[in-house]
Structures are given as structure tokens and as C-alpha cells.
Chains A and B, each alone.
Chain A
Amino acid sequence: MTSDKRVLIVIPAYNEGESIAKVIAEVHAELPGYDVLVVDDGSTDDTAAVARAAGAKVTVLPYNLGVGGARRLGYLYALRNNYDVAVQLDADGQHDPRNVPLLIDALETSDLVIGARFAGEGEYHARGPRWWAMRLLSFVLSKMAGTRLTDTTSGFRVCSRPLIEGYARWLPVEYLGDTVDTAVWAIRHGYTVRQVPVAMRARMAGTPSANPLKSTVYLLRSMITLLLALVRK
């Protein structure tokens, strides 16, 4: 069902020279025919050159905007170059490209499909304040969307053309803005949001933060983000 659509895979990358080539190679191998765009978010290493050598389209931001900024540029590129579907993939290799066709198929009945880590597949776990935050976020967003959303902070997403148009104009750079805020925005603007369970893998580079102080800060910031997203016009 997906062959007639023009699909762009957007990978925001900030100093990911180590892992980006592997990720691109894997996408090319698993998803031939899909275009890959690496948005270099003002990296100081050779991310852009490595990505270009690996055969991806590359666009380079003149300075670091944060992941939300890189994502919006990805959507703007998709909009201007007339893609029907945009796929958000992380540069650290934790999103398995083999799941992408599954997510794209789910677009038949929705505008935004989130690849969810806690929906039974794979071995992703979180504990303590970070887990509470994620539970709270998924509870509120599930109620709003009228469907079960267990992983609202997942960056593994697929968007339809109408939503590409929306995100190309509006996508915040703030912390968590690119995940929680964008989901709330899509729901409140009448787009259909749903999730598809996926297995997440360990990152190829970098470590997720498990420190309790950091998780508490995460909890507080996610609540502020959620509150602001809910009262926003």
C-alpha cells in the first residue's frame, strides 16, 4: 500500500558523526527507495560530511537550534519538496527502520503515528520519576486523543501530508516541545493520532540519563510543558 507515496526519512543529528553512517546504511538497506534527509543541527564534528558520503541528502543549520528546530526544518524540506509522508528517526540508532513500513501503513487511518516503546514489544524500561512523568503524559494524552498512547515522548513518528504542512509552520524548539507539545497540538487541531508498538534498541552511541535528580527535573519540566501545551491557543 505504501509504494505510491513519496516518503522522506528525516534524521536530526547533532555531533553524531560516529553513528550516523551506520544508521543511514541500515535505512538504505531496509528501505530502498525512500529518501533520507539528515538535518545537521550545527554540529562541530564531521556529521554532515559523513552523512553525505553515506548517500543521504543533507541540510545544515548555521547554528545549533535544538532537536525541535532540526525537526521543523525537516518538515519544511518535506513540504517544499512535495513529500507525502515524513518519518522521524533518531540518529543514535535506537529506532529500527524495519518498523517504518508498519508505521506508514497505520497512516491509512490517521495523520500521526507514534512508534511506542512500552506497548509490549522490546525491552525498554524506565523507573522512578521518569516513569511517573511518562505515565502522567500518556494518561492525559490518551484521554485527549481518545486512543491509547503509551509513549508520548517517543521521537519515532510518521506524519501525513496535512500534518507535514502544520509542523513546517509550527514546531517548538523548547525542551520536550518536539514530542509532547507536538502531540497535543496535533490532537487539538483535529488530526488523528495513534500508536503502533515497536521494539527499541540500545543506542549505538551516547547514554540515556538514569540519574534520579535528572529524572526529577525531567518530571517537573514535562509537567510544565504539558500544562503550557494544554492552555495554548
Chain B
Amino acid sequence: MKLNVLTAIVGLALLLVIFELLRRRQLREKYAVLWIVVGLGVVPLAVFPRGLDTFAKLIGVASGASLVLFLGVLLLLVICTHLSWETSRLEEETRTLAEEVALIRTQLAELDSRELSNDER
């Protein structure tokens, strides 16, 4: 029973952290929803570890714990891929911004030098 208490506390703590990050607007909603769903799924399992056994047997997995591990690894993989995709997109966005900054600075320098030569006249 002791282990259940530990896992339940960890699960609840995770949920709290996510909620807090969301409340402070440190986490975009699209990610928060994902993590809250994961948290809400994990906490009951922490309290009732045997809860998935029947379902696991039904799809040919020996125990609920194995199923949770498998799904956990799968989820992490998907999330990693998603984050790589997201950074690629962000890099493309910052690249566009860098280009704009460069062009604006060049234009500004050209305007400045034109103004200078006008003043001299």
C-alpha cells in the first residue's frame, strides 16, 4: 500500500505543477491540455495499479503495468517528435524575423545617409 501512496503523491504533484504553469501563463494551452489528460489518467492508476489488468489481458498484454510502460514510451516518442517539429518551425520563424531585421536595418542606414547628404547641402 505504501507504494500506492508514493505514486499517487507524485501524480498529484505533477498535476499541480502543470496547473500552476498554466495559471501563470508559462505553458501554452495546447501542451497543458495534453499533460493534464496524461496526469488525470496516471493518478487513478497510481492508486489502483491493477486497474488496467483486465483491459491489458483483453488486447494480449500480460499485465497492466507492461501496457502502461508501453504507452508511456510511445507517448514520449510522439512528444519528442512533436517538439523537434516545433523547433524546426520556430527556427524557420526566427529566420524570417532575422531577414526582416536585416532588411530594416539596411533601409534605415540608407535613409540616414540620404538625410545626412541632404543636410550638408
**B50 on the interface (CB 8 Å rule)?**
no
User: Please, what's the 1-or-0 string for A64-98, where 1 marks a CB less than 8 Å from any CB in chain B?
Assistant: 01000100110011001000000000000000000
Closest Cβ of chain A to B104, distance in Å, is 10
Q: How many residues of B contact A (CB 8 A)?
A: 9
User: Please, what's the 1-or-0 string for B70-103, where 1 marks a CB less than 8 Å from any CB in chain A?
Assistant: 0000000000000000000000000100110111
**B66 on the interface (CB 8 Å rule)?**
no
What are the residues of chain A within 8 A of B110 when measuring CB–CB?
57
Task: Assess whether A60 is in contact with B103, with CB atoms less than 8 Å apart.
Answer: no
Known contacts A69-B95, A173-B95; is A61 also within 8 Å of B102 by CB?
A: yes
**B105 on the interface (CB 8 Å rule)?**
yes
**A99 on the interface (CB 8 Å rule)?**
no
Measured CB to CB, the residues of A under 8 A from B are 39, 57-63, 65, 69, 72-73, 76-77, 80, 173
Q: What's the A-B contact tally at a CB cutoff of 8 Å?
A: 33
What are the residues of chain B within 8 A of A173 when measuring CB–CB?
95
The SS class assigned to the A binding surface is mixed
Task: Assess whether A62 is in contact with B103, with CB atoms less than 8 Å apart.
Answer: no
What are the residues of chain A within 8 A of B99 when measuring CB–CB?
61, 69, 72-73, 76
- By beta carbon, the residue of chain B nearest A63 is B98
What are the residues of chain B within 8 A of A58 when measuring CB–CB?
106
Tell me the bound Cα distance from A213 to B57 in angstroms. 52
What are the residues of chain A within 8 A of B103 when measuring CB–CB?
59, 73, 76-77, 80
Measured CB to CB, the residues of B under 8 A from A are 95, 98-99, 101-103, 105-106, 110
What are the residues of chain B within 8 A of A76 when measuring CB–CB?
99, 103
Tell me the bound Cα distance from A86 to B105 in angstroms. 21
- By beta carbon, the residue of chain B nearest A42 is B98
Task: Assess whether A61 is in contact with B98, with CB atoms less than 8 Å apart.
Answer: yes
Task: Assess whether A62 is in contact with B106, with CB atoms less than 8 Å apart.
Answer: no
Task: Assess whether A62 is in contact with B98, with CB atoms less than 8 Å apart.
Answer: yes
Tell me the bound Cα distance from A65 to B101 in angstroms. 13
- By beta carbon, the residue of chain A nearest B110 is A57
Contact of B106 among A59, A63, A69, A72 (CB under 8 A): A59
Closest Cβ of chain A to B100, distance in Å, is 9
Closest Cβ of chain A to B111, distance in Å, is 13
Tell me the bound Cα distance from A35 to B11 in angstroms. 64
What are the residues of chain A within 8 A of B105 when measuring CB–CB?
59-60
Tell me the bound Cα distance from A60 to B101 in angstroms. 9
Tell me the bound Cα distance from A115 to B105 in angstroms. 32
What are the residues of chain B within 8 A of A57 when measuring CB–CB?
106, 110
Extra contacts, 19 of them, besides A62-B102, A65-B98, A69-B99 (Cβ < 8 A), are: A57-B106, A58-B106, A59-B102, A59-B103, A59-B105, A59-B106, A60-B102, A60-B106, A61-B98, A62-B98, A63-B98, A65-B95, A69-B95, A69-B98, A72-B99, A73-B99, A77-B106, A80-B103, A173-B95
